[in-house]
Amino acid sequence: MNVERSCEIVLRPLVTEKSSAALEHNQVVFRVSRQATKAQIREAVERLFKVKVTAVNTLVAKGKTKRLRGIKGRRSDVKKAFVTLEAGQSIDLGSEV
């Protein structure tokens, strides 16, 4: 897998309260492509950030229904990946965002 394909899989890091709390457990949260598999996410993170990944957990957050001036709309679904790194490994999200 090349760097361009890795960037298509790992879209961006998510910086929220929950993801900040996950950093204590050596986990980093990314927004990823909806079609990406756990193996592809693992390989992309290892290639982009040069770290060792021990586990990848994924979830699909369903988009919310919203209204704007009486017209119903729906936000798109988002796939998140909780990536657990090996002990001693870390990713500096401050320089990557």
Cα(9)–Cα(7) distance, integer angstroms:
5
The predicted model scores a pTM of 0.86
Q: Does residue 95 carry a pLDDT above 70?
A: no
Q: Does residue 84 carry a pLDDT above 70?
A: yes
Question: For 70-82, b where at least 16 C-beta lie within 10 A, e where not — what string?
Answer: eeeeeeeeebbbb
Domains assigned to the chain = 3-87 (3.30.70.330)
User: What's the rounded mean pLDDT across residues 58-62?
Assistant: 96
| pLDDT value for 2 | 83
- pLDDT tens across 10-20, in order? 999 999 999 99
Integer angstrom CA distances of residue 1 from 9, 15, 42: 11, 26, 11
Place of tokens 């401050």: 94
Cα(23)–Cα(27) distance, integer angstroms:
5
| pLDDT value for 96 | 47
- pLDDT tens across 12-55, in order? 999 999 999 999 999 999 999 999 999 999 999 999 999 999 99
